[in-house]
Amino acid sequence: MSTAFRLLPLLLSLLLLAAVTQLWPSKDADLMGLTGLIGWFNVILLMVLAFFLFRYGLRLLRGKTNQHGASALRAKLVIALVGMLLIPAVLLQGSASYVVNRGLDNWFDVKVENLLGRAMKLAEGLYSRIDQELQHSLLELSNDSTLRAQLAILPLSSNELNTYMNEVVDHYNWESMQLFDRNERLIASIQRGELTPLKADDFTEQARIAMTLGKVTTEVLSKGSREQMVGYAPIIIHQNAIALIRVSVLMPEGLVEHARAVEEDNRSYHELARHRESWGQLFDHLMTLITVFIVLIAGIIALIFARTLTRPVEQLARALAQVSDGDLDVSISGAPQDELGSLVSSFNIMTQKLKSNTQAVADAQRELTQALAESQQGKHILENLLANLQAGVLLLNEEGHIHLSNLAFAQLLDIEPAILEKIEPDQTLSTVAMPAATARMQLIYHVLEELKSGSESSLQQQLEVPMGHQRRILLVRGVRLSIPEPSGFKGYLLVIDDLTDLAEAQRQQAWLEVARSVAHEIKNPLTPIKLAAERLQRRVQKNRIDPHIFEQCAQTIIRQTNRLLRLTSDFSTLASLPKPRCSHVVATVFIDELIDLYAAYPRVCVQQPTTSWDCFCDEDQVRQVLINLMDNALAATQANRDAVRMYMAHDDGMTLFHIEDDGTGIHHDNATVIFDSYFSTKAEGSGLGLSISSRIAKEHDGELVLLSAQQPTHFCLRIPNHSR
């Protein structure tokens, strides 16, 4: 592990401590307020993170991690994963803080404050003008000699008084005018544009004040949805108030309401302006808290992932160290069910074979040395030993002459042992006359030539050797020999292992995967068949069989059955998903079918488009994708019976199928892997539905995308309208 990497946790802890000093709440901060609490919480979290990073950095410097590289790999994975999330998170936080603070500065600009002040002055000025004009008019009217003369004559002349009051109302453009005597009784009343009400308005407290003080007063009252200004003016003769004039003027619509709203907005604006800095600090602390939580969650997930990933690597490193020390009794248990688990299993198989082969080769080498020392008798003993080996052995001298071979070599290459016995000592692989096995021997000869011409002392190749109507997979390993005295033998040793059974097992596993895909493809058409049958069953039970509905259900069952026949035929011949057979299809056909299929589900809403158009697709495959998406949406909303919506549109030469549901949604960790094969969050799910749907969309030159993981969960299938 490099020194820079060992120092990285210590540097990160120092950076966190520097961030703590920047986020430390000031002395005048409201420690019990929300900003203070979040600030202290951020400080505590950062200090805890700094402590653990500093502790881990000291462990790295002291070299207390294991020596097999797993700890360093685990740390690198965690730092890499957290770093990939931390860098954009910090950039996002900085950008958001800058935008918010800049927005606050613009919002609380002097221009905004001046604008609110001018609006207040404008509203107050308009209100004051109306009030002053009304008071001035009332003062003139209360001193009018004509009105005083009519009131002084008893009994009062109603016609003359009403005529005069109508002229006054028209002159001043008032809404109404009423005249009361000193005993608060109505003398006369004029209502402009309306019939005069039979019952006079109540004598208000403001009117009594005007009578008592002998002054003109005004007040604002509501009339329906509008405000009106009401003025009171006493008529004083010989220092006694003998009557009271009450007039009303309609205010401009919404004036008082708007004036009060402007006043309230002005008050709220200044209140917010006083707390502008606190809002900015609160936002910064909240963003820091969110970033820290994201880093903590990402670190925990990354640590779990790194531990899961590096544990088999650590076990393999330790086991390889033991093997390099000569200990072949190594076996790794508890292998995970993934790619690394298969690697561990292969390692266990390798060590077992290596142990058996090493033991066999060691025995053979020991016997071979003794046999060579004892000339021909030793050779026969060596041949007997080699004959018991499962691996084929071929020994050649430096010139390429065949020195010896065992029975397994003849069996692996399907050569008669009697033919091998007839090979002369001076014959090489290229000159051996074996008409029945010439091609197979030539493959071995090419491996030998490559070993002879190469600079390495060993070579390993995998060959596919034809055996009649079958092919056998052989692993050929060659090594250059240079045995010191007393034998002084120099040449080449070829060891051949049969891997046919292992390859067959791998092919069987691949066919199992294909079988799972076939099962999933067959499952999709069964859903509309089941829905159509259930719909017929409900109609029969209620004795309400509609021939049109019966025909629809029957056509659905026939169509999906034909689809099943097509799928089984395609899979049986191609062992893969059928290629799309595209044609121009009216897009609304899918909407009509889905409306019929899901008519029994009240919470399913399939919207019919206002227009119709064609799309270029395989009708069965697109129907399969839509039904799969609708079934997933129904399953996700089954618990709370949430709503499911489906609608379509077309844009830029593409047909867009939208499927939404208000269910629990998709976790953000799963949003990026939902289209992977065999990924499923349901216990009974195969994990192939969305993967196959995505593949169908791509083969149509379209795409299947997740637009929203939650609130609502929103998928969109894009299919071209024309061939490309």
Counting residues of the chain whose pLDDT is more than 90, the rounded percentage is: 10
Query: Which of the residue ranges 48-57, 95-104, 313-322 would you say has the lowest mean pLDDT?
Result: 95-104
Contacts of 718 (CB under 8 A, 6+ apart): 654, 655, 656, 697, 702, 703, 704, 705
Do 422 and 452 fall within a single domain?
Answer: yes
Instruction: Dump the DSSP string for 640-684.
Output: TT--EEEEEEEETTEEEEEEEE-SS---TTTTTTTTSTT--SSTT
Most trustworthy range by pLDDT among 48-62, 208-222, 283-297, 557-571: 208-222
Rounded alpha-carbon distances, angstroms, from residue 671 to 333, 566, 675, 703: 33, 33, 9, 16
Do 535 and 646 fall within a single domain?
Answer: yes
Residue 123 dihedral angles phi and psi, to the nearest 5°: -65, -45
Asked if residue 363 belongs to a domain, the reply is: no
Do 476 and 520 fall within a single domain?
Answer: no
Do 189 and 260 fall within a single domain?
Answer: yes
- Per-residue pLDDT for 679 more than 80? no
pLDDT band at 32 (very low <50, low <70, confident <90, very high): very low
pLDDT, residue 583, reads 92
pLDDT, residue 574, reads 41
Alpha-carbon gap, residue 214 to 530, rounded angstroms:
91
Counting residues of the chain whose pLDDT is more than 70, the rounded percentage is: 63
- Per-residue pLDDT for 156 more than 70? no
Do 522 and 666 fall within a single domain?
Answer: yes
pLDDT, residue 391, reads 80
Looking up residue 484, the CATH number of its domain turns out to be 3.30.450.20
Asked if residue 340 belongs to a domain, the reply is: no
Asked if residue 381 belongs to a domain, the reply is: no
Quick one: average pLDDT of 68-94?
A: 64
Do 575 and 432 fall within a single domain?
Answer: no
From 466, 497, 528, the end of a domain falls on 497
Do 545 and 637 fall within a single domain?
Answer: yes
C-alpha closest to that of 184 among 102, 272, 246, 236: 246
Do 687 and 544 fall within a single domain?
Answer: yes
Quick one: average pLDDT of 184-210?
A: 75
Asked if residue 353 belongs to a domain, the reply is: no
Alpha-carbon gap, residue 71 to 5, rounded angstroms:
12
Kind of pairing, strands 644-651 and 604-606?
A: parallel
Six-digit token pair at 4?
A: 């820079």
Alpha-carbon gap, residue 420 to 246, rounded angstroms:
136
- Per-residue pLDDT for 25 more than 90? no
Asked if residue 197 belongs to a domain, the reply is: yes
301 in Cβ contact with 78 (< 8 Å): no
Do 251 and 290 fall within a single domain?
Answer: no
Determine how many CB atoms are found less than 10 A away from the CB of residue 521: 22
Question: Per residue in 465-496, pLDDT tens?
Answer: 777 656 778 888 888 887 776 666 788 888 88
Six-digit token pair at 308?
A: 């899961």
Do 516 and 623 fall within a single domain?
Answer: yes
565 in Cβ contact with 541 (< 8 Å): no
Asked if residue 325 belongs to a domain, the reply is: no
pLDDT, residue 345, reads 75
Asked if residue 270 belongs to a domain, the reply is: no
From 497, 525, 556, the end of a domain falls on 497
Amino acid at 122: L
Alpha-carbon gap, residue 421 to 423, rounded angstroms:
6
Q: Note down the domain range covering 86.
A: 3-107+275-317
- Per-residue pLDDT for 432 more than 50? yes
Asked if residue 35 belongs to a domain, the reply is: yes
Structural domain count, the chain: 4
Do 16 and 139 fall within a single domain?
Answer: no
The H or E element that residue 271 is part of is helix 255-274
Do 87 and 157 fall within a single domain?
Answer: no
